Amino acid sequence: MLGVQNLLTYALGALLIILLPGPSSLFTLSVAARLGVRAGYRAAAGMFLGETLLMVATAAGLASLLQANELVFAVVKYAGAGYLTWIAVGMIRAAWAMWRRRDDDTAKAATATATGTADATPPPNGRLFRRSLVITVLNPKAILFFLSFFVQFVDPGYAYPGLSFALLAVVYQAISIAYVTVLIFSGTYLASQFRRRRKLSAGLTTGAGALFLGFAAKLATTGN
């Protein structure tokens, strides 16, 4: 179909890959847990757009540029690592504030720091979207991954490989949307638990911040 080989095998492989935790999906989950379903979908939209841009860049040959030019790869890599570190520090600071403060409203305001707001008012519609987008696109390894994964399922003799990449991208994003929807609604359930258990909320927020630091370290130390 459109030059794609073993589409079912590809879909199963994509599902397994999507299920692996990453900074974008973790950010979306944390946003949904703090700010609700709508905010979760705003963050998810940024992730979907970022992934789509990476897939388009892969098809356009950017992967070859990153492989050939170490400077470009390093700039994107360290920018991404720095941004993830900044997000992680915000989460850990929010958790520390929640741990120290007993008033629930004040704790909620502190929690918002993790998603870029300093008070309890809802963030601007575009802020969570932009943060999620930046987290997703500042990962040069993702472009190389899409190239190495997609090419295995494209018929080299097909005359229109762009259509093959497009079909693979649509299937990948359909699976990703279903998975992220589960994450978002799981996050709203967690939010109801957090409201009753401030220490649990602080502990899990700290854990999320630590994971982001781990993602940043992994990205900063990886090679091309």
Per residue in 136-185, pLDDT (tens digit) is 888 766 776 776 677 777 776 777 777 888 888 899 999 999 999 988 88
Domain boundaries along the sequence of the chain: 23-221
Q: Is the pLDDT of residue 36 over 50?
A: yes
Higher pLDDT, 19 or 102: 19
Q: Any idea what DSSP says for residue 197?
A: -
For 159, the 3-state DSSP assignment is coil
How far is residue 74's CA from residue 70's CA, in Å, rounded to a whole number? 6
pLDDT of residue 24 exceeding 80, the answer is: yes
CB 217 within 8 Å of CB 81:
yes
Most confident region among 23-37, 52-66, 75-89 by mean pLDDT: 23-37
CA distances (Å), origin 58, targets 54, 150, 171, 224: 6, 9, 16, 15
Q: What is the DSSP letter of 156?
A: T
pTM of the model: 0.64
CB 62 within 8 A of CB 205: no
- CA–CA separation, 161 and 158 (whole Å): 6
